[in-house]
Amino acid sequence: MTEYTTIIGLEVHVQLRTRTKLFCGCSTEFRPDAPNTQTCPVCLGLPGALPVMNRYAFDLALRTAVALNCDIAEFTKWDRKQYYYPDLPKAYQISQFDLPFSASGWLEIASDDDPNATRRIRITRAHLEEDAGKNLHDESGRGGDSRVDLNRTGTPLLEIVSEPDLRSASEARRYLEQMRTLLRFMGVSDCNMQEGSLRCDANVNLHVRTSDGETTATPIVELKNMNSFRNVELAIEYEAKRQRMLWEKTGQSIEDAPKSTRGWDADRGVTFAQREKEESSDYRYFPDPDLVPVVVSREEVEQVRRQLPERPDVRRRRYQEQLGLSAYDAEVIIDQGPEFAEWFDSVAAACGDGKTAANWATQDVLRDLNADGMSLSRFPITSQVMGHLLTWIVDGRLTTSAARDVYGVLKQRAADGQVLTTSLVDSLAAERETVRDTEALTAAVHAAIEALPKAAADVRSGKQAAVGPMIGMVMKQVSGADPKVVRSLLLEALQE
Amino acid sequence: MPVSSLPSRPVAELLTALSSGNLTSRQLVESCLEAISAQDDTIHAMVHVDAEGALKRADRIDERRRAGEPLGLLAGLPVAIKDNICCRHLPCTCGSRMLESFRPPYDAHVTEAIQAADGIIIGTTNMDEFAMGSSTETSAWGPTRHPDDPQRIPGGSSGGSAAAVSAGLVPLALGSDTGGSIRQPAAFCGCVGLKPTYGRVSRYGLVAFASSLDQIGPFARDAVGAALLLQAVAGHDVRDSTSVRHQVPDYRTELSRPLSDLRIGLIEDHFAEGLDEEMADAVRRTVHQLEERGASVRTVRLPHSKYCVATYYLVASSEASSNLARYDGIHYGRRADGCTDLMDVYCRSRGEGFGPEVKRRIMLGTYALSAGYYDAYYLTALKVRRRIREDFDAAFRNVDVLAGPVTPTPAFRIGEKTDDPLAMYLSDIYTISANLAGIPAISVPAGRSENGLPLAVQFQAPPFEESRLLRLADAVLS
Ligand SMILES: [Zn+2]
C-alpha cells in the first residue's frame, strides 16, 4: 500500500510593533487611505539618503527570538537583497542573508494524535528585514496606470522560517495560532492578518512511500497569498491532494521539477501556478556598506531572557493550577490576547476568585465585546469596577442575576457618559442585595405553599422539580431574594 | 583690493577683511559671480549658479554682522559644492541625464553644516557622471577645462570644484573622493584637496557612488582654507551609521603647532615605472625641504599596493551597481517615453539615462556580485582590501606620515584617455589605497612642470590625523 505524508515548512513574516520604521523615523501606522504620507528621503530611497537602524525594532526581534528558543548570534550584519520592482524604491531590500541574528529555535504545539502531548517544531532561523511598499493596479479593467504606495516601505519585518517539521494542514494552522499567541504575549506584534502584520507562505510537498518500501519526495511548492489561518489550512489541504493526484498521474519527483510558486484562490478554493519573479534566482546579496554590524553580548541576551513577559503556556498553567480555571476557560482567555488576559488577571485579583472572574470574563464580557466588535481598550467597565462588582457575588451578597442587572446598568450609565466608580457599583448593588432569612422571606414561603397546594404535595411526595413554580412566586414577592436560599427555605418548610 | 581677484585671496585675509568691515559678503559673492561670468564659459567648472539666492544670503549675513551678531566659522564666505551633494535650493544632477530634473527635497549634512557656519552655497560644480571618471569628461554636461590650459582636463571626478577654486571663481569648494576624486584634480589644478578619514564627514545627502569608500572633503588655495571648511563639515552625524564619534580638533589652531620630529616615509612602491620624472622630482624636492626643517625621512614599502587598482574597481563597481539600481525610472529621475511594459521602463530609462562609463561599471559590479562569481571577485577583493589596510598599519608603526606622488603625470589632454579606460583608471593608482584603507590623505601643490602645469605631493596619515596633514600642507606652502 502507498503511504503519503505531507511535509510542510512555514515562512512567517511578522510586522514588529514599533512606532517608527526599521531604518528611518517615519510612522508605521496602517494608513491605506493616505498613500505616500508616511515617507521620507530614507524610505523613498532618494539619492544620498542613508539608513540608520531602529534599535527598538532590533530589541523586539531579539525578544521574539529568545521566546522562540533561538540561539542569538554575537555578530550579525545587514545585507542587500537586490531585485527590481516598483514597490522597492532602492531596488534592494535591506535584509539578513548568511549571518541572521538568530537561528535554531523551536515552538511547541499540541500534537495531532494526542492533544495532551506536544510536538516541537524546529525554527531554522529568524531574521529582520524591511518591508516593501504596495503596488496598486487599476482593477477597473480600463488599463489605467499602476500606482505605488510607499507607506509600508521600511516597516520592520521579522521572518521566521520553520524546518519542514509540520505534517498536516491542521498542524500548520495550530503552529500559526501558537505563534500568534506567543508573539502577542511577548508584546512584539499585534499579528493582524487583515492589515498584513502577519503573513505566511508555506512550502509543501509529499513523501510517498510505496509498497516496496521506497520513499520519494514530490516537487516542493511554495504557497502564497493566504490571508487567514483558515485559508492556510485549506490551501495546504488542497495542495496535498493536488500533489497526490499529480504524483499518481506523472510520478514526478523532486529531482524532476524545481520548486514552483502557487497562489491560493480563496473564492474558488484552488491553488494556481504563479509567474516567478523576474530573475528571482540571483538576488546578488552583499553586505550593506551603509550599515554597521550589530554586536550582541551574552549579557544582553540574558537580560532579554530575564525580562521576557510571561509566556502564554506558563500563563495557562498558572490559570489552571493557581486560579482553578478549567482548561477550556484558561484557553479562551489566553486566546483573546495579552490585553484581555491582563484585564482578567486584574479582575481576578480584585475580586479574589479566579473562577467567578473567569465566568464573567468568558461569558458576559466576551459576548458584549464580540457583539459590538469592540476592543477591550474601549470597553467601559474597568477591571477595578468589574472586580468590585464580583466581590459582591463572591461574598454572597448579590445573586448572579442581580449582578447581571447591575452590569447592565453600568453599561448603560457608561453609554450615557457617566464615569463608572466602585462607589457607584456599591450603591447599585446595595439596592439589589440578596435578602436572606428575613421575616418577609419566611412569610412569602408560607404564602407560596398555601397558594400552590398541588405543587406542595408533589414535592412532599418526592418530586423535587415541582418546587420551581413556588420559588418563582417567592422571588416575585421578595425582590433580591437568592433563589438558592429560597429553595432551601421552601424544602425546609415542606418537610415540617 | 581689486574686486576681480577677491576669490583668489587667501581665506584668512578675506575673513579679516570681512570682520573688519573692509569687505562685505555681498561684495565677495558679487566678485565670485563676476569671475564666473568672465571665465566659466571657457572653464565650465560650474553646473548651476544660484546668484540670486547667494546674494540674498550674503545680505542677511552682512546685516547680522553690522548688527554685531556673532557669525559662524565661515562668516559669509562663498562655497561651491559638487553636483552630487544635496541642497534644497539647487538641482543635484550628479553630471547625469538620469538626474537632470532632480531637485533634492532635503539638505545633506554638509550643506546644513555650511549654512549653520554662515557659509554661502553659491552653486554646484561639474563632475564625472556619478563621480565615475578621472577627468570630468564623463559629465553629461560636457567636460570642465583646466584653468591654465583649456586643451587639458582638470582631473576628476571633482574636476569642477578643483577648477573653480584654482581659477579663483570661489575661495572654497567641497568635493567627494572615492578613489582620488578630490586629490587628483587638486593636484592637476594646483590647489589643496583633502580626503578625510572614512567616517570623519557624514555622507548623509552625498549621492552614493561606492558607500564604503566615499568621503566628502574640502578644496582650498591654502591649508587655512581647507582647515576652515573641514572644521565646518566634520563631526558625528546620527543620520550616517558609518560616521564616527571622534572629537573634531580645532584644525586652524592645530596649524600653528610646530611639526617637530616628524618621521616621513617615502612610499617606494609609488616611484616605480609609469611615474613622470618631473612629478617624482617634485615629490623628492618637497620631502627634502621638510627634511631640512627637521623631519626624518626613510623609505617604506606597501607590498600590496600593486593590487590596489584591481581591488578598487571590484569593490567600488560592486557597490555602485547596487547604489545606482534605484535609478529605475519609477519614482524620480529620468523615465523613457512611450514604454510598453515595466521591463521596457527599466531598460530604456536606464539605457537613456546613464552614459557609457557608468554602464561599464554597473555591468562590472553586477558581474562581480553574481552567484558563482561573488567569492572569486567581491570576497577576494575584500580580503585584499584588508591586506592593504594592514600595510598601512605596519607602515604607521614607524612613520608619522607617508609621502608620495598624487598622480603619475600632470594634467593630460582632453580626449587623451577617453578611449582607454584602463589608462584612465591608472591615473588614480596612487590615490586609491587611502580610500581602501579609510585613512586621510591630502594633495599639496609642489611647483610647476617645465610647461607650466601644476605638480603635487600626496601625504597620507593614520586615521583622524587630518590636522597633521594640514600642518604639512601649511609648511610646504609657506
Ligand atoms: Zn521614512
Rounded to the nearest 5°, which phi and psi values hold at B445? -60, 140
Chain B contact set for A84 (CB, 8 A): 325, 328, 346
pLDDT number for residue A145: 84
Nearest CA in chain B to A45: B326
Greater pLDDT, A469 or B223 = B223
Question: Quick one: which of A480, A397, A485, A401 has its CA closest to A442?
Answer: A485
The shortest C-alpha distance from B207 to chain A (Å) reads: 4
Does the beta-carbon distance from A290 to B211 stay under 8 Å?
yes
Domain count, chain B: 2
Active site residue B82: yes
Lowest mean pLDDT among A39-53, A155-169, A445-459, B87-101: A445-459
User: For the residues B198-215, what does the mean pLDDT come to?
Assistant: 98
* B333, B342 Cβ separation under 8 angstroms: no
Average of per-residue pLDDT across A332-336: 94
Calculated CA dihedral for residues A40, A44, A48, A50, nearest 10 degrees:
70
Substitution target from B201, B245, B331, B344 for chain A, most A beta carbons within 10 A: B331
Distance CA B109, CA A257 (A): 52
Spell out the SS3 assignment of A146-198.
CEEECCCCCCEEEEEEECCCECCHHHHHHHHHHHHHHHHHCCCCCCCCCCCCE
* Domain match, B314 and B401 both: no
SS3 (DSSP) at B70: coil
Contacts of A212 (CB under 8 A, 6+ apart): none
Amino acid at A254: I
Give per-residue burial for B30-65: e unless 16+ CB within 10 Å, then b. Answer: bbbbebbeebbeebbbbbbbbeebbbebbeebbebb
Residue A167, pLDDT above cutoff 90: yes
Say whether B242 and A290 touch across the interface (CB within 8 A).
yes
Task: State residue A123 phi and psi, 5-degree precision.
Answer: -100, 125
Given pLDDT bands bounded at 50, 70 and 90, which one contains residue B426? confident
Per the domain annotation, does B291 fall within a domain?
Answer: yes
**In this predicted model, what pLDDT tens digit does every residue of B11-39 receive, in sequence order?**
999 999 999 999 999 999 999 999 999 99
Claim to verify: residue B319 and residue B404 sit in the same structural domain: no
Same domain? B32 vs B9: yes
What mean pLDDT, rounded, does chain A reach?
92
pLDDT at res. B3: 58
% of chain A at pLDDT higher than 70 = 98
Question: Of A49-58, B75-84, B249-258, B306-315, which gets the smallest average pLDDT?
Answer: B249-258
Mapping DSSP to helix (H, G, I), strand (E, B) and coil, where does residue B445 land?
A: strand
- Which amino acid would we find at residue A22? L
B474 and B371 belong to one structural domain: no
* Full-model pTM: 0.91
- Distances A93 to A130, A153, A279, B350 between C-alpha atoms, Å: 6, 10, 15, 20
Q: Does the beta-carbon distance from B210 to A289 stay under 8 Å?
A: yes
Q: Distance from the CA of A39 to the center of ligand 1, in angstroms?
A: 4
Contact A39, A183 (CB under 8 A): no
Radius of gyration of chain A (CA): 30
What confidence tier does A73 reach under pLDDT thresholds 50, 70, 90?
very high
Confidence of residue A78 (pLDDT cuts 50, 70, 90): very high
Q: State which residue of chain B sits closest to A82, comparing Cα positions.
A: B322
On whether both B355 and B442 belong to a single domain, the answer is no
Neighbours of B132 (CB within 10 A): 30
What is the distance in A from the centroid of ligand 1 to the CA of A254?
43
Instruction: Please name the amino acid found at residue B175.
Output: G
Report the pLDDT value the prediction gives residue A451, as an integer from 0 to 100.
87
Mean predicted lDDT score pLDDT of chain B: 96
Residue A456: what are its φ and ψ, rounded to 5°?
-60, -45
> Which of A41, A49, A286 is opposite residue B322, by nearest beta carbon?
A286
Q: Is the pLDDT of residue A106 over 90?
A: yes
Rounded Cα distance between B162 and B185, Å, is: 6
- Nearest residue to B173 (alpha-carbon basis) of B56, B77, B51: B77
Is B260 labeled as catalytic in the residue annotation? no
| Alpha-carbon distance B82 to nearest alpha carbon in chain A (angstroms) | 13
The residue range of the domain holding B368 is 310-375
Residues A266-319 have pLDDT tens digits of: 999 999 998 765 445 689 999 999 999 999 999 999 999 999 999 999 999 999
Residues B435 and B329 both lie in one domain: no
Question: By the CB < 8 Å criterion, does A291 face chain B?
Answer: yes
**Low-confidence winner among A12-21, A426-435, B403-412 (lowest mean pLDDT):** A426-435
- Identify residue B349 by its one-letter amino acid code: S
d(CA B448, CA B372): 49
User: Across the interface, do B205 and A82 touch by the CB < 8 Å criterion?
Assistant: no
Domain boundaries of chain A, sorted by first residue: 3-295, 310-431, 439-495
In the reported structure, the alpha carbon of residue A95 is separated from the centroid of ligand 1 by a whole-number distance in angstroms of 17
pLDDT at res. B2: 53
* B369 in the same domain as B282: no
Pairing outcome for strands A221-224 and A260-265? parallel
DSSP notation for A384-420? HHHHHHHHHHHTTSS-HHHHHHHHHHHHHHHHTTPPP
Same domain, B176 and B54: yes
CA A89–ligand 1 middle distance (angstroms):
12
Same domain, B256 and B370: no
Q: What pLDDT does residue A442 have? A: 84
Shortest Cα distance, chain B CAs vs residue A142, angstroms: 16
Same domain, yes or no, for B398 and B329? no
| pLDDT tens digits for range A35-69 | 999 999 999 999 999 999 999 999 999 999 999 99
**Could you tell me the distance, in angstroms and rounded to a whole number, from the CA of residue A157 to the centre of ligand 1?**
15
The residue-averaged pLDDT of B281-289 equals 97
Q: Cell digits for A251? A: 510520478
Mean pLDDT, rounded, for B35-56: 98
Q: Which of B25, B82, B317, B318 is catalytic?
A: B82
Residue A278 confidence (pLDDT): 46
**Domain membership flag for residue B381:** no
Residue in the structure block whose three cell numbers are 497569498: A225
Separation of CA A30 and ligand 1 centre (Å): 14
**Helix (H) or strand (E) segment spanning residue A115:** none
Question: Do B335 and B466 lie in a common domain?
Answer: no
Question: Average pLDDT in the B359-364 region?
Answer: 97
| pLDDT at B4 (0 to 100) | 60
What is the least distance, in Å, from the CA of B345 to any CA of chain A? 11
Collect all residues with Cβ–Cβ distance below 8 Å to A462 and sequence separation of at least 6.
Answer: none
Closest CA to A183 of A13, A19, A346: A13
* Residue B346 sits at the chain A interface (C-beta within 8 Å): yes
Encode pLDDT of B431-473 as tens digits. Answer: 999 999 999 999 999 999 999 999 999 999 999 999 999 999 9
Neighbouring C-beta atoms of residue B276, cutoff 10 Å = 15
Q: How many CB atoms lie within 10 A of CB A98?
A: 8
The answer to whether the CB of B138 falls within 8 A of the CB of B98 is no
Q: What is the mean pLDDT of residues B234-240?
A: 98
User: pLDDT (tens digit, 9 = 90+) per residue, A210-243?
Assistant: 988 899 999 999 999 898 999 999 999 999 999 9
**Cβ neighbour number for residue B128 with a 10 Å cutoff:** 33
pLDDT tens track for B95-132: 999 999 999 999 999 999 999 999 999 999 999 999 99
- Contact at CB, A46 and B208, closer than 8 angstroms: no
The Cα B450–Cα B445 span in angstroms is: 15
What is the reported pLDDT for B321? 98
Same domain, B298 and B314: no
Nearest alpha carbon to residue B36 among B79, B4, B82, B13: B4
Write out residues 67-126 of B within 8 Å (CB-CB) of A: 84-86, 92, 94, 99, 102, 104-106, 108
Instruction: Over range A315-327, report the average pLDDT.
Output: 94
Asked whether residue B245 is assigned to any structural domain, the reply reads yes
CATH number, residue B186: 3.90.1300.10
Which of B99, B241, B370 has the CB atom closest to A282's CB atom?
Answer: B370
Query: Which of A49, A84, A92 minimises the CB distance to B346?
Result: A84
B449/B67 Cα distance (integer angstroms): 49
Closest among B457, B411, B387, B417 to B193, alpha carbons compared: B457
ipTM: 0.96
**pLDDT tens, A373-414?**
888 888 999 999 999 999 999 988 888 888 999 999 999 999
Q: Is the pLDDT of residue A468 over 90?
A: no
| Cβ–Cβ below 8 Å for A47 and B241 | no
Catalytic, B359? Answer: no
Residue B155 in contact with residue B184, Cβ under 8 Å? yes
